[in-house]
Structure 1
Amino acid sequence: LYADTALAEKLKRLGAELRFALLTSEASVANLADAPESAVKAEQLPLAVAVVASAHKKCERCWHHREEVGQISEHPDLCQRCVSNIDGAGEERHFA
């Protein structure tokens, strides 16, 4: 996402949970002035969106494409979040 300063501050408050609010594997917020020409601009908000396919493997449990999938020997088909939810204390969310 590319947003003006005020909107970017609000979006960044979600932290890592922004990806859950947007139903995507990963999300980040950058300055609206840095948006590429290919970004789709919102009509009513100071916001532009650029989508890029992930290069990471898909977690078999949550279907998010995460860097750590394939790197956890006990659960090679899962992401760290799912391993924590299965074998650990589980994730803690605050917003989404």
Structure 2
Amino acid sequence: MQLPTLKDKGIIPLKDESYLTNGYWDMVIDWIPGMRSIRLRDLPSFVQTTDPNDVIFNFVIEAVESAPKASGLVIQTFNVLEKEVLDALSTMFPCV
């Protein structure tokens, strides 16, 4: 859900390929609700693009932006494993 914010902040897509090897991926993102100490390297691999027009990257951004309009969301986990994340998502989407 935070991918549009990461894009707006200029964190993704990458400026160039050197960002894959210069330690940039170790950046801690400490403002994502329910996720402590997550690093860029912990995000799905499709964010490792330098192309702002990448089809998969933009598809996921569009899907995230349309999620609030959904009548329900299915999250492939359960409360015992990721309670903090599910609690945070529940505040954004009452039909999780």
Q: Fold-level match, TM-score > 0.5?
A: no
Structure with higher strand content: 1
Normalising by structure 1, report the TM-score. Answer: 0.28
TM-score by length of 2: 0.28
Greater fraction of residues in helix: 2
